[in-house]
A and B are shown apart, each in its own frame.
Chain A
Amino acid sequence: MRPRIQLLSPEVIGRILREAFELLMDPGVRVGSAPVVELLRSAGVEVAAGVADNDGVARIPERLVQQCLASAPRDFYLYNRQGEKAVHYGGDDVHFDPGSCCVQMLDPETLEARPSETRDLVRIVQVTETLPQFAAQSTAVVCSDACGDSRAASAIGDLYRLFVVLQHSDKPVVTGSFSAAGLQGMIDLLAADSGSPDKLRQQPRAVFDVCPSPPLNWSEFGSRNLLDLARAGVPAQIVSMPLAGGTAPVTLAGSVTQHAAEVLAGITLHQLAGPGSPVVWGGAPAIFDMRTGGAPMGAVETAMLNMACAEVGKRLGLPTHGYLVATDSKLVDAQAGAESARSAMLGALAGINMISGAGMLESLACFSVEKLVIDAESIASAYRLARGIEVRGDEVRGDEVPSEKARGEKVPRETLATAMFAQTGLSGEFLKLKETRALFRQEQHLPSPVIDRSARGSEPASDVFTRARIRVDELVSKYRKPTLSEDVLRKFQAIVDREADRAGVVGTETGKNVGAATGTTLGALGG
């Protein structure tokens, strides 16, 4: 039996959806771009004039939403560079990826936050690449060295992050664009990596976060991204982020309702533009902290919101996403561990398909690669818990033991304990049993040395942060950079150059800046 946690009864989910449909009609949804208004009107949606020229308030009828829900796929896969299915968005499958998109990095020496740079992103990608707990990469931090200075350069900061990640990873990527205009360059980059836009559509390597603005507002940026992704057939992950009490009703149930309305509106836009294109019922809902005015990502209510939102998505049969495994602490301390491990477990027990947030401190403002490896341990424990207690009714074949002796031999295991006692009697020698050796790896999660279970020795005990720093160094030295063909690298560079021009980067000045950082990425950080 796989353990599950559910927070909402079927009746409450029904009420949430009913009220969400009501919200889509009254007060309706703000839509902020002319093409979106046009798309909705052509589908028969009434769009009243808004404040600005190009925005309006759409009243989206349930009938149309239901039609769009019907065309949205129940599940889909993300593929790795080798073309293998690596992430299954659907059912109760659970995956984790690091959080994104920080602008600060925790310096493990000084314990201070400093602007994140290309070298930080590379290190995060290297560590993520080696850890099986992470099914996907994320474009985790903004690279201030390459894209921090001028407005034009920061306009391609989103592309640059993906450019760095693709060079250093074979895993699928959870990413996102910073602007309406920036998306195409990123899609082009992925298509160049996959071989062609068609190949990318058939075997998508990345999913793009697209965010509505609470409450009930699909801005020009977000809605244009949705349309472009739907048309390109590249998966979109709708990340609605109501803040309960701030930008959404204070009640958790009320915020889940607003979340549902925002995502339903997003799916409608998305499926109208590209019926059948993959889309995820995602979110980063949180409570609104009444002391600080912040969004406490480590709060248990925040985890509850994520779980409940995913339950609504599951009711609709859609792939799900949530934002957990993060903390509000500024240091990698006990608070960070407690909050992150707790929400990793809750997310896994809720069966959320993709859980973003590992590695993040300070309510998503700061990233720590040391925290990432500690979170990986929490995630492994969460996976173990979610697997539940397995009753092994069938026979185990001896070849589960890495031993020639046992090969082909059958060890009877129909009983829970009596067959093993039949061998040991009262001697207590369970360590010597074939069953022990064959099964302990399945029964027990064996943590990395980040987790201290050793007996006290003569040397002073170390803390988890110290061990995590050692572990990060070990993983980085184990990491091997993927080999990309010269052709793909040339195409990458051409796209980055083209987008730099488009963003108004004066070739000589900031172009050089991006190029220099690119050179660093291609060269020295190649490892």
Chain B
Amino acid sequence: MSDPLFGAMRQSIIDGAPDTATELAHQALANGIDPLEAVNQGFAAGIKFAGDQFGCGEMFLPDLLASAEAMKAAIKILEPEMLKRGSEREALGKIVLGTARGDIHDIGKNLVATILSASGFQIFDLGTSVTPEQFVAKAKEVDADIVGVSALLTTTMAGQKAVIEALDRNGLRPRAKAIIGGAAVTAKWAAEIGADGFSRNAIDALELAKNLMGKVMNEVRSKGIAEA
């Protein structure tokens, strides 16, 4: 089904206009549009476009954040109805995020959280200076698919290694994937500490998370087949 409202919804996200997005969400409900459809065909298309535009340098961080905020505003209106209909948006995956122990720089981590959340991931944000134990506890609690550790400083990057080791020690990997990010993080470092992936910015992180979820699904499937 294609509704003329979908185009406006997409645009409200691209414009980063939370008020318009809210209004359109209300309108969709009033018109009896399936809220899940409104998200998938309308608003989410806007986030996808914004992400692509950011990727090719046409949109910038403040624009991207505004788009994410508009997305959040729309979801907030549609969510109760989705719950009511039992058609809540299936999360793409569950991600535990935080900055490495001793690191209080969270701009990058917050951006990743915002973009992933707006794109349909369920985010458990542990904040800044998170210990390996806290990462492990949360990952266990929510049965996380992905654990993301951000570090800005070369001195706190060691904390990323500590988290990965803790995840391994507690048997959370390979079920959960560990990803890292931050200004000083390189592919070499990621390989060295055995991370499942790293990204340079929030949009790359989205791609990475989606790819890893594909992997998780495949592993779950093949495990299922093996057990059967």
Binding site for B on A (CB under 8 A): 401-406, 428-429, 431-432, 436-437, 440-441, 446, 449, 454-458
Contact = CB atoms under 8 A, between A and B. Distances in A.
Given A403-B15, A431-B65, A457-B187, A440 B60 contact: yes
B183 interface: yes
Given A431-B107, A455-B200, A405 B19 contact: yes
Given A404-B12, A432-B65, A440-B60, 20 more contacts: A401-B16, A403-B17, A403-B20, A403-B66, A404-B15, A404-B19, A404-B20, A405-B19, A431-B107, A436-B62, A437-B62, A437-B63, A437-B65, A440-B62, A441-B60, A455-B200, A455-B201, A457-B187, A457-B200, A458-B186
Interface string B62-74: 1101100100000
Nearest to A433: B62
Contacts of A457: 187, 200
Nearest to B61: A431
A440 B65 CA distance: 14
Given A455-B183, A455-B201, A404 B17 contact: yes
A476 B60 CA distance: 25
A318 B109 CA distance: 55
B15 A402 contact: yes
Contacts, number: 52
Give the interface residue-count category, chain B. Answer: 20 to 34
B57 interface: yes
A432 B69 contact: yes
Contacts of B15: 402-404
Give the interface SS of chain B, mostly helix, strand, loop or mixed: helix
A402 B107 CA distance: 23
Interface in B172-201: 183, 185-187, 200-201
Contacts of A436: 62
A428 B105 CA distance: 10
B18 interface: yes
A446 B200 CA distance: 19
Give the interface SS of chain A, mostly helix, strand, loop or mixed: loop
A403 B63 CA distance: 10
Contacts of B19: 404-405
A457 B198 CA distance: 9
Contacts of A402: 15-16
A458 B57 CA distance: 19
Given A437-B63, A454-B200, A403 B57 contact: no
A446 B17 contact: no
Contacts of B69: 432
A404 B107 CA distance: 26
Contacts of B63: 437
Which among B12, B17, B201 has the greatest number of chain A C-beta atoms within 10 A?
B17
B147 to A, nearest CB: 21
Given A437-B66, A457-B200, A403 B16 contact: yes
Contacts of B57: 449
B187 A458 contact: yes
A88 B117 CA distance: 50
6 contacts: A429-B110, A431-B65, A455-B185, A455-B201, A456-B186, A458-B186
A437 B70 CA distance: 14
Contacts of B183: 455
B220 to A, nearest CB: 27
Which among A429, A432, A455, A458 has the greatest number of chain B C-beta atoms within 10 A?
A455
Contacts of A431: 61-62, 65, 107, 111
A424 to B, nearest CB: 13
Contacts of A432: 62, 65-66, 69
Contacts of B111: 431
Interface in B59-91: 60-63, 65-66, 69
A405 B200 contact: no
Nearest to A432: B65
Nearest to B15: A403
Interface in B102-133: 107, 110-111
A453 to B, nearest CB: 11
Contacts of A440: 60, 62
A190 to B, nearest CB: 37
Contacts of B61: 431
B52 to A, nearest CB: 16
B42 to A, nearest CB: 16
A62 B28 CA distance: 81
Contacts of B201: 455
A398 to B, nearest CB: 11
